[in-house]
């Protein structure tokens, strides 16, 4: 799901090298009809879904004659995970839109390779409980979580003391508030180590990405908030670490390349060949570490606060963040105005300690509206 995005296209690169092992049965995209058609012609899936119904006709005209079933719209996107013959669904949509497909995939008993962190941020408890009830595996694709997952392979029930999520620090590492006040969209999109979709690139610059990942890790690995720490590591070579009860630490390392965690999620528990560039110690004589600055990058503090409070607060954080990131990308909002609006949403949207799925959908909508209203007021000034 999301085959035309950054993760989606990299997954198809992995699959292209291993056609004997993997074949995409379904491909989905939101808007990019041209690329979806191209991908379907190359990989020959049984079905495709295009989210934006305006593009239905053109996708259908190109693919139906080739025997590919074509569907369109949000319901089709959410329900396609129940398609027969699926062993696994790679959820690489961006944002809250990933939640319903994840829930439906679990309902259909289909294992999940999960890139979409937002679904665990907003509904981690419900998703993990449902997955465990239906015996569905959720294999992380996010590089830090894949690293932790890889460190835990073979450890059985050995107790984890804590985990360290590494953060590159993004393009604004070491900058102060005065500098951040005037950064532009182009500055924020210029990530030093990773090439990714626009939303996650802005989240990386604001450290919200790390905040979301902290919450994602809590649910994936069943940890208490005080077992999760973040360490800035600008080279992005160590992808994350696990510290066990005996004090021993395991790290997973490699050059930053998302194809590796994607491939591992698809091939797990096996490791299969890749021709990705190998790490050389002499190219990196130094690996550095430092503490993240939660006063300057206050999104990280907000995410820890949301994780500790639990309930629907992470959903509020995520929804507000989606709105402010879009406004920043539309150049309607300054970089430092983003955390400010997220915080106001967290303080003003009604708290629910044990939200149902329905209440999470309502919280998402309600927060989006509230955040948009706050942005409207600011821009009207």
- Distance, in Å, from the CA atom of 377 to the CA atom of 271, rounded to the nearest integer, reads 53
Which residue's CB is nearer to ligand NAD, number 254 or number 378? 254
Q: Classify each residue of 238-248 as buried b or exposed e, where b means 16 or more C-beta atoms within 10 Å of its C-beta.
A: bbbbbbbeeee
Does 142 participate in binding Mg ion (rule CB under 5 A)?
Answer: yes
- Distance, in Å, from the CA atom of 118 to the CA atom of 213, rounded to the nearest integer, reads 9
Q: Which range of residues in 5-13, 15-23, 237-245, 318-326 is near ligand NAD by CB under 6 A?
A: 5-13
Does 115 participate in binding ligand NAD (rule CB under 6 A)?
Answer: yes
Does 194 participate in binding ligand NAD (rule CB under 6 A)?
Answer: yes
Among 111, 118, 216, 322, binds ligand NAD (CB under 6 A): 118
Which residue's CB is nearer to ligand NAD, number 55 or number 337? 55
Shortest Cβ contact with ligand NAD: which residue? 5
- Distance, in Å, from the CA atom of 301 to the CA atom of 156, rounded to the nearest integer, reads 32
Burial class (CB in 10 A: 0-12, 13-18, 19+), 197: middle
Which residue's CB is nearer to ligand NAD, number 113 or number 157? 113
- Distance, in Å, from the CA atom of 74 to the CA atom of 52, rounded to the nearest integer, reads 8
Q: Classify each residue of 120-157 as buried b or exposed e, where b means 16 or more C-beta atoms within 10 Å of its C-beta.
A: bbbbbebbbebbeeeebebbbbbbbbbbbbbbbeeeee
- Distance, in Å, from the CA atom of 93 to the CA atom of 41, rounded to the nearest integer, reads 21
Q: How far is the CB of 143 from Mg ion (least distance, A)?
A: 5
Could you say which residues in the range 143-162 bind Mg ion, by CB under 5 A? Answer: 143-144
> Would you give the DSSP letter of residue 128?
H
Burial class (CB in 10 A: 0-12, 13-18, 19+), 332: middle
Which residue's CB is nearer to ligand NAD, number 8 or number 234? 8
Write down the residue that tokens 């509020």 correspond to. 316
Q: How far is the CB of 38 from Mg ion (least distance, A)?
A: 27
Among 90, 106, 117, 292, binds ligand NAD (CB under 6 A): 117
Does 203 participate in binding Mg ion (rule CB under 5 A)?
Answer: no
Q: Which range of residues in 90-98, 155-163, 219-227, 269-277 is near ligand NAD by CB under 6 A?
A: 90-98
Does 256 participate in binding ligand NAD (rule CB under 6 A)?
Answer: no
Does 196 participate in binding ligand NAD (rule CB under 6 A)?
Answer: yes
Which residue's CB is nearer to ligand NAD, number 51 or number 124? 51
- State the residues that interact with ligand NAD by CB under 6 A: 2-8, 29-32, 51, 77, 92-94, 97, 115-118, 142, 194, 196-197, 200, 258
């Amino acid at each position: 799901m999301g085959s035309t995005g950054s993760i989606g296209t990299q997954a198809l690169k992995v699959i292209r090298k291993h056609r004997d092992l993997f074949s995409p049965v379904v491909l989905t995209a939101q808007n990019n009809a041209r690329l979806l058609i191209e991908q379907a012609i190359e990989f020959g899936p049984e079905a495709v879904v295009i989210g934006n119904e305006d593009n239905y006709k053109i996708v259908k005209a190109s693919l139906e004659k080739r025997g590919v079933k074509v569907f369109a719209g949000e319901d089709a996107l959410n329900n396609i995970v129940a398609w027969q013959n699926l062993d696994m669904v790679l959820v690489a949509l961006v944002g809250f839109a990933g939640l319903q497909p994840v829930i439906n995939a679990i309902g259909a008993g289909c294992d999940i390779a999960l890139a979409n962190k937002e679904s665990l941020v907003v509904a981690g408890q419900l998703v993990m409980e449902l997955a465990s009830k239906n015996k569905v595996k959720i294999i992380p694709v996010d590089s830090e979580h894949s690293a932790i997952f890889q460190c835990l392979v073979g450890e059985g029930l050995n107790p984890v003391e804590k985990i360290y999520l590494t953060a590159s620090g993004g393009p604004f590492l070491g900058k102060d508030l005065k500098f951040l006040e005037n950064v532009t969209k182009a500055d924020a999109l210029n990530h030093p180590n990773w090439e990714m979709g626009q939303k996650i690139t802005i989240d990386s610059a604001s450290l919200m990405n790390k905040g979301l990942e902290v919450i994602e890790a809590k649910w994936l690995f069943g940890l208490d908030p005080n077992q999760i720490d973040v360490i800035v590591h600008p080279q992005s070579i160590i992808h994350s670490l696990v510290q066990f009860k005996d004090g021993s630490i395991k790290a997973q390392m490699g050059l930053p390349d998302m194809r590796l965690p994607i491939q591992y999620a698809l091939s797990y528990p096996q490791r299969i060949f890749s021709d990705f560039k190998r790490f050389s110690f002499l190219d990196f004589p130094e690996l550095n570490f430092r503490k993240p600055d939660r006063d300057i990058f206050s999104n990280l503090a907000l995410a820890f606060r949301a994780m500790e409070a639990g309930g629907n607060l992470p959903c509020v954080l995520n929804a507000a963040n989606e709105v402010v990131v879009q406004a920043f990308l539309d150049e309607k909002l300054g970089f430092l105005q983003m955390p400010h609006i997220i915080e106001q949403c967290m303080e003003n949207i009604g708290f629910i300690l044990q939200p149902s799925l329905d209440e999470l959908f309502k919280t998402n909508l309600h927060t989006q509206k509230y955040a948009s209203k706050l942005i409207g007021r600011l821009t009207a000034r």
